[in-house]
Amino acid sequence: MEYLEVNSHAIPIELLLEADPSKESILNYLSGSWCFVATTRGKILAACIVKAQGVELAEIYNISVYPAYQGQGIGSKLLQFTLSELSNRGVKRVELGTGTFGYQLTYYQRIGFRVASVSKDYFLKQYDMPIFENGIQHKDMLRLYIQI
């Protein structure tokens, strides 16, 4: 497995749709982002999209792993690689938004992310269609952060 930075045009949109159901949203944040990927034999299996929000602050907008490769640690290793790369660029704090429940929250907390705030009704206001996980509708978004 190889972890590296690539141009945003190299990342398949269907991969990013695994984590964000809005193609319009993806296209908005993809421009001007740092794009880190996990590849094997030249095939992208996972991607992490990050944007600088200031000199020492960056935000992760999307981290996706194709379903066939989930549960193998690829996403966790990609996130660790991404955090290391961001640290090398002088970033001190990384933030992201996620649902208030589900495997994603546990995943980020295992890495060391902590809750900063709650954005009430975020998923209700930002997405045209409801987003469900395990039969429960996502409504609020947790803002998480990690100091690196």
Instruction: Report the percent of the chain where pLDDT is more than 70.
Output: 100
pLDDT one-digit tens code per residue, 41-99: 999 999 999 999 998 999 999 999 999 999 999 999 999 999 999 999 999 999 999 98
Adjacency order of strands within the sheet including 2-6: 2-6, 34-40, 43-52, 57-65, 93-99, 141-147, 114-119
Nearest-5° angle of CA 65, CA 136, CA 124? 85
- Domains (range + CATH), the chain: 2-147 (3.40.630.30)
pLDDT of residue 21: 86
Output the pTM of the full model: 0.88
DSSP string, 103-131: HHHHHHHHHT-EEEEEETTHHHHH-SS--
pLDDT of residue 103: 79
Q: How many CA atoms lie within 13 A of 147 on its CB side?
A: 0
Instruction: Report the percent of the chain where pLDDT is more than 90.
Output: 74
- Locate 14 and state its tokens: 């269907």
pLDDT of residue 99: 85
